[in-house]
Each structure stands twice: as C-alpha cells, then as structure tokens.
Amino acid sequence: MQAAIEKADTLIEAMGWIREFRDKVTVIKLGGSVMEDEDALRHLLVDIVFMETVGMRPIVVHGGGAAISRAMAEAGIEPNFVQGRRYTDDATLAIVEKVLAGQINESIAEQIEAFGGRAMPLNFVGESDNNVLFGERITLDGEDGQPVDLGHVGQVTRVDRDIIDNLCYAGQVPVIPSMCVDEAGNKYNVNADTAAMAVAQAVGAEKLVFLSDVNGVRQDKDDPDSLIHTLNAQKARELISSGVIASGMIPKVEACLATLEKGVRKIHIIDGRLRHSLLLEVYTNTGVGTEIIGEPAAAV
C-alpha cells in the first residue's frame, strides 16, 4: 500500500508542471548520433508520447547523419564535410532522401504509434506528399572568404506552419526530416539543427531541445566533466573561432544563436542517452546539459 501511496504522490507532484506546460510547443531535435542507440531512442520516444498524452505539444525534427554515412559507405562513397555540412552530390542526395525522408522518418512515426502515441511523418517520399519545409540552395564562405560549393545543400526559408499546428492541436506528433524543396521542385539536404531552428521559429515554440550523444557543449570535447552549463552568444562565437566548438557542434550552436534572436525562450543541448533526459529538461529548473542564453552569462 505504501508504494501505491508514493506513486499517487508522484502523480500529484507532476500536476503542477503538467499544468504549466500544457499546450506549450516544444521542438525536439533528434540527432543521428543518439538515434544509433536503440535503447536511448526508445526511451526518448516514450518521453515524447508522455508529453503528448498530458497535453504538451511536442514536434520532432530529426537528422540521421550516422545512418547516411553508413549508407554512403555501403555505396562506396566517401563522406566529405565542410563546416559540419555534408557535401551532397546527386548520388548522395538520393541516399539522403531514401535514408532520412524515407526510412528514418517513417520509422520514428511508427515507433511513436507503437508506444501508444499518435504521429504523422511529414515527408515528400511516396504518393502522399506531406512536406512542410521549403527553401533554397546555400553556399558557405570558406576560410579564404570565397564561397564553397556544397552541392545540393539547402536552407529552409518557409515552413508550412498550418499543417504542423493542426497536427499538434489534434494531438498528433509531427515528425519532420531535415530536407527541403524549392519552388522548382529541387530537393535539398538540410543540416538537421538548422531545420529544427526554422521549425521552432515558425511555430513560435516555447522551447527548442537538441538531443545529441554528448552532455552538452564542453570546453574539452572529449571530457564530459568540462561541460559548460550556460553559454552566451559572445562566448559561443569565441569558442567556434578558437576551434573548441568543432564539427557537428558548429551548426548546432549557430542554430541556437539564430533561434534566440527570433524569440524562442529556452534552448538546450542535452544528452539524449541519459534516461528521461527530455522529461528532466522539462520539469527541473536547472535542467541538464548546456543552456544557450541571449544575455551575457553569469558563469560560463
């Protein structure tokens, strides 16, 4: 009986934060690195089903970098990254479409449904075109200031917000792959961190959470104890130029900075492998991982 009473206490305790977050939109970016860990992914999706069940409005935007690189290796293509973005030629684009917009997107939605939630895969693969991300080709500036060609790499310039809002309000989790289409129908590979940023801005999300395979931004990328709990824009830029923030962490932090300027209130980079990291993030005040903030940080 005591155990049952304690469980009831926990439910009552949860009531406050469930009320606080009811109807609030959280964009959750699932990184390819954490999706490699089946157990971690399962726990994360169960947390997402829980959020949806208690009336929060989770939206999933996902990458799949590790799975794309694996499929490229199987096809005998060597991946090439420029400032954290994958050079995407015709053959690579076909793989990205199959793996990201096809397999991973459908699989996440199926798993959410299998855990008792409701989800809608929003991709342009197959007959039902549910794509919500529209955009254009991008180039980056190289170290010499000259533009670097990335092939079929794009950025999102428009999000079909109505479709996403309608799904959220119908209690379904929108599941969005990081690809976009331009007006002429050309498809582009989009870094998933920047895709999540575009969605969070478009829907006016309360929170944007990046789930990765590291505990956040670190002073030394190989040392978990060097976690930086709070990072402001100025310090983040310094860490990028000094090389402390490198590879896949660059687009993630850049996306955080751009999102802050657009009014999303809370942005966190957390370790998706930590059990219930998403729920911990929602209902603990201090949170876990690195919080990116707009004003100068008291402690970095």
Ligand X SMILES: CC(=O)N[C@@H](CCC(=O)OP(=O)(O)O)C(=O)O
Binding residues: 64-65, 86, 189
Of 15-23, 112-120, 124-132, 190-198: span binding ligand X (CB under 6 A): 190-198
What per-residue string of b and e applies to 228-264 under the rule 16 or more CB within 10 Å gives b?
bebbbbebbeebbeeebbeebbbbbbbbbbbbbeeeb
Q: Is 197 in the site for ligand X (CB under 6 A)?
A: no
User: Could you tell me the smallest distance in angstroms from the CB atom of residue 261 to ligand X?
Assistant: 21
Q: Could you say which of ligand X, ligand ADP, none residue 213 binds, taking C-beta under 5 to 8 angstroms by partner kind?
A: ligand ADP
x-or-dash pattern for ligand X, window 18-57, by CB under 6 A?
A: -------------xxx------------------------
Is residue 233 a contact partner of residue 224, using CB atoms and an 8 Å limit?
Answer: no
The entry of ligand X, ligand ADP, none that residue 221 binds, CB within 5 to 8 Å by partner kind: ligand ADP
Shortest gap between Cβ of 32 and ligand X (angstroms)?
Answer: 2
Q: Which does 68 bind (CB under 5 to 8 A by kind): ligand X, ligand ADP, none?
A: ligand X
Q: Is the CB of 39 or the CB of 295 nearer to ligand X?
A: 39
C-beta of 218: minimal distance to ligand ADP in Å? Answer: 4
Question: Which residues contribute to the annotated binding site for substrate?
Answer: 64-65, 86, 189
43 binds, among ligand ADP, ligand X, none (CB under 5 to 8 A by kind): none
**Residue 18 is which amino acid?**
I
Label each residue of the chain as H, E or C. CHHHHHHHHHHHHHHHHHHHHCCCEEEEEECHHHHCCHHHHHHHHHHHHHHHHCCCEEEEEECCHHHHHHHHHHCCCCCCEECCEECECHHHHHHHHHHHHHHHHHHHHHHHHHCCCCEEECCCCCCCCCCCEEEEEEEEECCCCCEEEEEEEEEEEEECHHHHHHHHHCCCEEEEECEEECCCCCEEECCHHHHHHHHHHHHCCCEEEEEECCCCCECCCCCHHHECCEEEHHHHHHHHHCCCCCCCHHHHHHHHHHHHCCCCCEEEEEECCCCCHHHHHHHCCCCCCEEEECCCCCCC
The contact set with ligand ADP (CB under 6 A) reads: 31-34, 63, 65, 212-214, 217-218, 221, 244-249
> CB 193 → ligand ADP: shortest distance, Å?
6
Q: Between residues 52 and 193, which has the closer beta carbon with respect to ligand X?
A: 193
Binder among 26, 105, 172, 178 for ligand X (CB under 6 A) = 178
Binding residue for ligand X, selected from 43, 86, 187, 218, defined by CB under 6 A: 86
CB of 154: closest distance to ligand X in angstroms? 8
Where along the sequence are the contacts to ligand X (CB under 6 A)? 31-33, 63-65, 68, 85-86, 96, 153, 178, 189-192, 248
